[in-house]
Structure 1
Amino acid sequence: MAKVTRRCGCRDDDGRQYGANCPRLKDWRHGTWGFRISAGRDPKTGRRRYLSESGHRTADDAKEALADAQRALRRGTADFTRTRVGDYLQTWLDQQEGQLKPSTHGNYSRYLTADVIPALGGKLLKDLQRADVAALVRGLQDDGRGATTVRRIHATLSSALADAVQDGLLHENVAKGARLPRVNRQKVEVWTPAQAGEFLEAVAEHRLGPLFELAILTGMRRGELVGLRWSDVDLLVRTIVVRTQLVCAPTGLVEEAAKTDAGQARRVRLPERAVSVLMGWRLRQDSDREEWGDAYQDSGRVFTWEDGREYRPDYVSKAFRTLTEGKELPPMHFHSLRHLHASLMLASGQDFTVVSKSMGHSNSAITRDLYSHLFEDHAMVAVEGAAALLPARGGVLTSVLTNGPEQQKTSEE
């Protein structure tokens, strides 16, 4: 019957390891526990195979690992290839190419090659422990990485290990159930309508002014705006169909489907002001096309450079940041224009379901989490307005609240 043993790395005078015969093993703190079990013969070479593992601090840990190895043998999932974590993750990344959006694959590649593989890549895949994943998470936090980033890195590793379990390379996903930092969702802070108007007035003559205005009027994402085609705009029925977005991937600028299933091919209604903005912009673009002649690169995009080239999403954000610097406006990112649109819709009396559908959220719960505090402010105004419609009611409390205690005392005398 297989059993666990305690060994160490001490050597005798001839340089040979003592192994299980080291005299210092009388001290229970010396050495580590492990096991070695026969695993039959290799069907290709006919040579006898063994599964071995060492480095456990206690006998109980080694017994648990031994039991896992025996279960893997019975299931036929034992790993005899001594696959390293880094090699497996690189192979897994290669397999995902073409299965994921280029931007998503780029993020996975960056997380694994820059963070996970340097920390865990040298370990044998079969030896990977929950403690190793916990150490990775702590290391990322110690390096100052944000909670959202840590969670994304962990999610990528967990996805890869889940596939290893599916393929029979692991018997469990050791990344599952890890303790992760909590993401503290901050309240969305946006400009007031007056501040938004001040900004639009300031950028009225800038080439990207119409794009910024459409962002506020529709709530469309940055990638959706720069990826928008005229073929998806119907000014007569005042509708935009959001089908694609442009994203910056490691391979360059690529076109992808809309960000979420709920966001794909969603219809965005256009107010009259947005129609006017787009009509004016189309006239300007037609003038550019005529001026550039044969050199004009007709991409079919709505928002382009003078020569027809499409905008990069990151350029739009940089331009927005530059245009807002030095102005007496609360600091905001370009993406906050999307939140501004949602807040304006809520202020106009729209409920969460309508706002959620317009924003392209996968469900209204996301909208509620993001904008609940805005809705509460508007709800308070609404209930005060409703109360104001009722006739005043007499009574001591009402008099005190409306006239003050001194005036109430005088009236009683």
Structure 2
Amino acid sequence: MTAIYTGMRLGEIMALTWNDINFKTISINKSWNYLDGGGFKKTKTKSSIKTIRVNDDLLNLIVELKVNKQGLVFRNAYGQLPTSNAVNKTLRNAMSQCGIVKQDYHFHSLRHSHVAYLLANDVPLYIISKRLGHSNTTITADKYAYLIDEFKERSNEMIEDSLNELNPKSKNESEGKPSKNNRLA
């Protein structure tokens, strides 16, 4: 749930401590080195260090993990963090239970789903780029070009609607009203 709500990388999620969780935000300032036996490491890039806003639904789910009484949010009562394989297996099982069949869908794909959801809800690319921790929007645009192309037609319609607002005559005529002003600027 944390990945789909935030777009965070697995290592960033595994490195979350309770000090990183606030009233409406999650601070991303380190990563977990789950490939080399554990321990904190730097984030993938400098721009990956950020604080992102989250909603109450996610925060309420995360707070349920406090019963484990561990410093790391996702460490279980036995002091263990799930491995990358365990996380992917759990994801595949959840997808199967929901009747979702997607070839080659893995934990990192949740980051892509997060981006797709934000784009579908008209969140600007600049904001998505910052949320993901990309140093500039070109990285985001290149990485998610296939998603951006899907929303191009909708964007073109939004542009046309916006441009139609520039000419009150054309808007009024399309609504069957006479125009008050026929001049062009």
Instruction: State TM-score, norm by structure 2.
Output: 0.76
Q: Name the structure 1 match of 2:100.
A: 328
SS at match of 1:354: helix
Q: Distance in 2 between matches of 1:348 and 1:342?
A: 10
Unaligned runs of at least 5 residues, structure 1: 1-212, 290-297, 393-413
**Match in the other structure for 1:152:** none
Structure 2 unaligned regions, length at least 5: 165-170, 176-185
Q: How does 1:144-293 map to 2 (within 5 A)?
A: 213-234=1-22, 236=23, 238-250=24-36, 252-264=37-49, 266-279=50-63, 281-282=64-65, 285-286=66-67, 288-289=68-69
Q: Give the number of the structure whose alpha-carbon radius of gyration is greater.
A: 1
Once residues 272 and 358 of structure 1 are traced to their aligned partners in structure 2, the CA distance between those partners, rounded to angstroms, is: 18
C-alpha deviation, 1:253, in angstroms: 2.0
User: How much identity, in percent, do the aligned residues show?
Assistant: 28
* Poorly superposed stretches of 4+, deviation over 4 Å: 385-390
Q: Structure 1 residues 385 and 242 mapped into 2: Cα distance closer, same or farther (>3 Å)? A: closer
Supply the AA of the counterpart residue of 2:123: Q
Deviations 1:60-112 (A, max 9, x none): xxxxxxxxxxxxxxxxxxxxxxxxxxxxxxxxxxxxxxxxxxxxxxxxxxxxx
Deviations 1:104-134 (A, max 9, x none): xxxxxxxxxxxxxxxxxxxxxxxxxxxxxxx
| Equivalent in 113, 119, 129 of residue 340 of structure 1 | 113
Could you tell me whether the CA contact under 8 Å between 2:118 and 2:128 is conserved in 1?
yes
Q: Give the SS at the match of 1:267.
A: strand
The residue aligned with 2:90 is 319
**Code of the aligned partner of 1:371:** Y
**Aligned residue number for residue 369 of structure 1:** 142
The SS at the match of 1:253 is: coil
Q: Amino acid of the residue matched to residue 307 of structure 1?
A: Y
Aligned residues: 164
Distance 2:157 2:35 in 1: 50
Deviation digits for residues 273-314 of structure 1, max 9, x if unmatched? 2223223x24xx32x44xxxxxxxx3x011122334333334
| Counterpart-to-counterpart distance in 1, 2:51 and 2:135 | 14
Q: 1:371 to 1:340 in 2, by over 3 A?
A: same
Q: Deviations over 1:152-203 (max 9, x none)?
A: xxxxxxxxxxxxxxxxxxxxxxxxxxxxxxxxxxxxxxxxxxxxxxxxxxxx
C-alpha distance in 2 between matches for 1:311 and 1:373: 31
Question: CA 1:248–1:307 in structure 2 vs 1: closer, same or farther (change >3 Å)?
Answer: closer
> 1 CA distance for matches of 2:139 and 2:101?
28
CA distance in 2, matches of 1:350, 1:214: 19
Aligned to 1:307: 78
Q: 1:350 to 1:334 in 2, by over 3 A?
A: same
Q: What is the distance in 1 between the residues matched to 2:55 and 2:35?
A: 33
User: In structure 1, what is the Cα distance between the partners aligned to 2:76 and 2:56?
Assistant: 25
2:129 match: 356
Letter in 2 for 1:375: I
Note if contact 2:15-2:72 (Cα within 8 Å) is conserved in structure 1.
yes
User: Is the 1:321–1:334 Cα contact (8 Å) retained in structure 2?
Assistant: no
- Which one scores higher on RCO, CA 8 angstroms, separation ≥ 6? 2
Per the alignment, do residues 261 and 314 of structure 1 end up closer, same or farther by CA in structure 2, a change over 3 Å counting? farther
For residues 76 and 59 of structure 2, the distance between their equivalents in structure 1, rounded to whole angstroms, comes to 20
CA pair 386-258 structure 1, distance change in 2 beyond 3 A: closer
* Separation of aligned partners in 1, 2:147 and 2:82: 33
